[in-house]
């Protein structure tokens, strides 16, 4: 087991009607709030009203219209607003995109140069506004971690900024807020959660058995409840288990003692940086292709273990069990009604070279991923999609 540090300062309030603590908790940070959210869904489903009821005594500035794959432009606008209005605290009401944009804004509000500088050099982040989250989509785990992924449309770069200053101070996670999510978003979130855990799980064997078994537990949870949430949107047991799975799936717990670069996310980030694809859909297409490509004599034991523990495959032979596991992943994504090829989402071969180059350039997949991937490897994986 590798050495690690572990400290998560985020205060999680999980369950029905937990919104009731927002007023008191946020008041400790000040009176001027930047309220960040996406499209109009929180107005339609009543969450906006519940939040505003809590913020009656605050001065609220709104920044709405945060899109999936949040853009640098939005961050620039948000940071400008914070400076102009003297914002004390940011409240992100939404999922990963809204939270990630809010994190970047929180840092940019305390920085005098262009926000993109902070992505390129994290050491420039010296302080950040406090962030509170009201979670309405579970997927990215951003509610309890210190990372944020931002897209620079000018350069087609989708990069992460990550520093302890960006942990949300408070995250309110009410599973009933997920009831009104469209099927597609539920599914994309489920894929994202599973992928996060897989990225951490598929790493060179390093004796961190406990981290692996905890990961298997989270993956079993996702596989069990993903389809239920699709069929019964207001099933509390399914929504609550998935919501906590998303948080635990990427709050550092499943990476302790392990190491190495992620494999599929860096490729997907480039693809959705070029095509503005929903992140979960990109992952659903890429993951089985990656699994097939890297399955070999060295990796088959881990893939077989994954198949046995997560999908209860009883096949004795490692290679066969591994193959069945990959098929289970495909079947699972199909059950979630995810597209399974690039052609279904309008992506052709024209940019494979460029994207492969970019994926290798902007990540460590060629150096420390589970199976090291160079540009040629990435192109082969893209072709399998």
CB of 337 to its own copies, least distance (A): 23
* Residue 166 to residue 106: CA distance in whole angstroms: 8
CB of 13 to its own copies, least distance (A): 6
Judged by CB, which is closer to its own copies: 223, or 385? 223
* Residue 313 to residue 328: CA distance in whole angstroms: 9
Token couple for 365: 């997949």
Judged by CB, which is closer to its own copies: 196, or 330? 196
Judged by CB, which is closer to its own copies: 29, or 352? 29
Asked if 288 and 333 touch (Cβ cutoff 8 Å), the reply is: yes
Query: H-helix or E-strand containing 333?
Result: helix 318-335
Judged by CB, which is closer to its own copies: 152, or 241? 241
CB of 344 to its own copies, least distance (A): 32
Judged by CB, which is closer to its own copies: 120, or 213? 213
Judged by CB, which is closer to its own copies: 182, or 207? 207
Angle, alpha carbons 5-145-14 (nearest 5°): 115
CB of 49 to its own copies, least distance (A): 21
Judged by CB, which is closer to its own copies: 203, or 363? 203
**What residues line the site for its own copies (CB under 8 A)?**
1-16, 18, 175, 207-210, 213-214, 216-218, 220-221, 224-225, 236-237, 240-241, 244-245, 248, 253, 256-257
Q: Could you give the C-alpha distances from 211 to 64, 249, 252, in angstroms and in order?
A: 38, 11, 10
Nearest to 315 by CA among 335, 296, 330, 301: 301
CB of 292 to its own copies, least distance (A): 27
CB of 210 to its own copies, least distance (A): 4
Judged by CB, which is closer to its own copies: 176, or 327? 176
Q: Could you give the C-alpha distances from 313 to 78, 154, 309, 329, in angstroms and in order?
A: 49, 46, 7, 12
Asked if 278 and 68 touch (Cβ cutoff 8 Å), the reply is: yes
Q: Which residues of 287-313 are buried (b: 16+ CB within 10 A; e: fewer)?
A: bbbbbbbbbeeebbebbbbbbbbbbeb
Q: Residue 160's CB: how many other CB atoms inside 10 A? A: 16
Q: Tokens 């949870």, residue?
A: 221
Asked if 153 and 141 touch (Cβ cutoff 8 Å), the reply is: no
CB of 243 to its own copies, least distance (A): 9
Residue 366 has φ and ψ, to the nearest 5°, of -85, -10
Asked if 257 and 187 touch (Cβ cutoff 8 Å), the reply is: no
CB of 213 to its own copies, least distance (A): 3
Q: Residue 62's CB: how many other CB atoms inside 10 A? A: 13
Asked if 307 and 325 touch (Cβ cutoff 8 Å), the reply is: yes
Q: Which residues contact 10 (CB under 8 A, 6 or more apart)?
A: 143, 144, 167, 168, 169, 170, 171, 251
Judged by CB, which is closer to its own copies: 65, or 207? 207
CB of 247 to its own copies, least distance (A): 9
CB of 367 to its own copies, least distance (A): 22
What sign does the dihedral 356-337-252-277 (CA atoms) show? positive
């Amino acid at each position: 087991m590798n050495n690690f540090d572990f400290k998560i300062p985020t205060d999680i309030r999980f369950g029905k009607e937990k919104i009731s603590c927002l007023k008191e908790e946020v008041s400790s940070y000040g009176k001027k709030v930047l309220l960040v959210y996406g499209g109009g869904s929180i107005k339609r489903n009543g969450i906006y009203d519940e939040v505003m009821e809590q913020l009656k005594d605050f001065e609220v500035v709104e920044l709405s219209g945060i899109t999936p794959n949040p853009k640098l432009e939005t961050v620039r606008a948000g940071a400008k607003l914070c400076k102009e209005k003297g914002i004390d605290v940011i409240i992100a009401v939404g999922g990963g995109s809204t939270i990630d944009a809010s994190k970047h804004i929180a840092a940019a509000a305390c920085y005098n140069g262009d926000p993109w500088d902070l992505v390129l050099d994290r050491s420039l982040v010296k302080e950040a506004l406090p962030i509170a989250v009201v979670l309405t989509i579970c997927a990215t785990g951003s509610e309890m971690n210190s990372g944020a992924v931002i897209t620079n449309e000018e350069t087609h770069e989708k990069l992460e900024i990550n520093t302890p200053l960006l942990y949300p101070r408070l995250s309110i996670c009410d599973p009933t807020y997920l009831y009104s999510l469209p099927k597609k978003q539920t599914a994309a979130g489920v894929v994202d959660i599973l992928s996060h855990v897989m990225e951490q799980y598929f790493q060179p064997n390093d004796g961190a058995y406990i981290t692996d078994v905890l990961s298997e537990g989270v993956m079993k949870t996702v596989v069990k409840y993903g389809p239920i949430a699709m069929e019964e949107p207001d099933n509390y047991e399914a929504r609550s288990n998935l919501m906590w799975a998303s948080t635990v799936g990427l709050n550092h717990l499943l990476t302790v003692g392990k190491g190495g670069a992620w494999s599929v996310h860096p490729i997907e980030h480039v693809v959705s940086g070029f095509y503005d694809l929903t992140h979960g859909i990109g992952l659903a297409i890429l993951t089985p292709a990656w699994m097939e490509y890297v399955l070999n004599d060295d990796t088959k034991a881990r893939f077989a273990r994954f198949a046995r523990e997560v999908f209860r495959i009883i096949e004795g032979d490692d290679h066969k069990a591994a193959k069945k596991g990959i098929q289970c992943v495909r079947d699972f994504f199909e059950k979630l009604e995810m597209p399974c090829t690039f052609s279904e989402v309008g992506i052709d071969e024209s940019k494979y070279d460029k994207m492969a180059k970019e994926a290798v350039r902007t990540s460590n997949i060629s150096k420390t991923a589970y199976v090291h991937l160079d540009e040629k490897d990435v192109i082969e994986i893209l072709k399998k999609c």
